[in-house]
């Protein structure tokens, strides 16, 4: 197994070396993960919409946008720190995994973040002091 940590996007070439033996170079093209980003956005929108329907179509537009953003944030964080998501290893780096994580996180929305904050930091103000209107 080889772990590669590229410094950015673009072309790169990998060669394995063992003593005097060298492998055939393998060329890779690293690009921005547009499909993963689209899957995160789609999942977050679906999750926020389902939350909207579940709560009887109440709440402000600002709150629903915040739910979408929280879904995308959690999905992006799960790509950086895979241990925070409870998905199988095969699903983590896929667009389907990004969609699922974003949809669940957006469905739970800011309520989950606020509950976690109150549990981790008991001095956090009450739920009524949320900066995002419901």
Residue 74 included in any domain: yes
Considering the domain boundaries, does residue 9 fall inside one?
no
Q: What is the 3-state secondary structure (H, E, C) of the chain?
A: CCCCCCCCCEEEEECCEECCEECCCEEEEECCCHHHHHHHHHHHHHHHHHHHHHCCCCCCHHHHHHHHHHHHHHHHHHHHCHHHCCCCCCCCCCHHHHHHHHHHHHHHHHHHHHHHHHHHCCCCCCHHHCCCCC
16 occurs within a structural domain:
no
> Does any domain span residue 60?
yes
Is 124 part of any domain? yes
Average pLDDT (110-127) is 72
pLDDT score, position 42: 95
- Residue 49 domain flag: yes
Please, how many CA atoms are within 13 Å of residue 119, restricted to the half-sphere of its CB? 6
With cut-offs at 50, 70 and 90, classify the pLDDT of residue 36: confident
The total number of structural domains that make up the chain: 1
pLDDT surpasses 80 at 58: no
Q: Of all residues in the chain, what percent carry a pLDDT higher than 70?
A: 86
Mean pLDDT of 112-125: 74
* Tens of pLDDT, residues 73-112: 888 888 777 776 666 777 767 888 889 889 988 998 877 7
Determine the structural domain holding residue 43 and report its residue range: 34-129
């Amino acid at each position: 197994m080889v772990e590669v940590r590229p410094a950015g996007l673009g072309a790169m070439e990998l060669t394995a070396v063992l003593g005097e033996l060298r492998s055939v170079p393998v060329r890779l093209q690293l690009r921005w993960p547009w499909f993963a980003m689209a899957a995160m956005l789609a999942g977050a929108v679906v999750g926020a919409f389902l939350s909207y329907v579940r709560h009887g179509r109440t709440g402000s537009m600002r709150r629903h946008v915040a739910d979408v953003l929280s879904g995308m944030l959690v999905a992006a964080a799960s790509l950086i720190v895979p241990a925070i998501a409870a998905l199988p290893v095969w699903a983590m780096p896929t667009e389907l995994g990004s969609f699922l994580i974003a949809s669940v996180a957006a469905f739970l929305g800011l309520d989950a973040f606020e509950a976690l904050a109150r549990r981790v930091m008991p001095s956090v103000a009450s739920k009524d002091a949320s900066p995002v209107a419901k």
